[in-house]
Amino acid sequence: MATPQDSDSAPGSLSRRERQVMDILHRRGEATVAEIMAELPDPPTYSAVRSIVRILAEKGTILFREDGPRYVYYPAVDGDAVRENALNHLVETYFGGSPELAVTALLRRGDLGLDARDVSRLRDAIAKARRTEGGNDV
């Protein structure tokens, strides 16, 4: 059986619908099948959504708790860890493992709308990353 980390570290291991359900759960924190169904684009039947959450639970990607007669589902791994895994996969796959190329691609986008405060926070984050790497000056 896959561990939560195994499931989240392999981005291609989820179907489109499973990814949609995971997006909803990460955004909301937790949800019932009915709440998930209400947010799915072109939702399948209630039974189909129940099947999707059952499969996700079997994969170890989500957990659940009983709340009276209903089940409330939530992600097995927090959103920060999932975002970090997805970003690592993106950088490795599409940018040859180069964070510099990935950041440069983001900065080339014309619709970023960075103001002076955003740029200052980015500079602070870069300085902090440099310190974290053992003081290597890049």
Helices in 42-132 by DSSP H: which ranges? Answer: 46-59, 79-94, 99-108, 116-132
Q: Output the tens digit of pLDDT for each of the chain's 138 residues.
A: 334 444 344 445 889 999 999 999 999 999 999 999 999 999 999 999 999 999 999 999 999 999 999 999 999 988 888 888 888 999 999 999 998 898 888 888 766 777 889 888 888 988 998 888 765 544
pTM (whole model) above 0.75: no
Tell me the domain boundaries of the chain. 4-75
What single letter denotes the amino acid at residue 27?
Answer: R
Domain range 4-75, its CATH number among 1.10.1740.10, 3.40.50.1820, 1.10.460.10, 1.10.10.10: 1.10.10.10
